Amino acid sequence: MCSVGGPVNLDIEELTWIKYQCNNCKKVYRSTAEKSVCPQCKSEKVNRLQDKSE
C-alpha cells in the first residue's frame, strides 16, 4: 500500500499590520514586523501606534 500522505495543514498566519510613526521625520507607516525602521529616513526611533480599528 502506498501512502499518499495525510491532509496538508497549511499554517497561514494572518499578518498583523502594526502602525508606526517615526520620531525623526514623523512619517506614519505600517509594517508587519515587530521591530521596524522608518522606510523614509531609516531611523530606528519609531513609535508603535495603537490602531483602534477593531
- CB 52, min distance to Zn ion, A: 23
Confirm if 26 and 49 have CB atoms less than 8 A apart.
Answer: no
Q: Which residues are at the interface with Zn ion (CB under 5 A)?
A: 22, 24-25, 27, 38, 40-41, 43
CB 12 within 8 A of CB 33: no
Nearest-approach distance from CB 6 to Zn ion, in angstroms = 48
* Residue 12 to residue 1: CA distance in whole angstroms: 31
Question: Which residue lies nearer to Zn ion by CB, 18 or 38?
Answer: 38
CB of 21 to Zn ion, least distance (A): 9
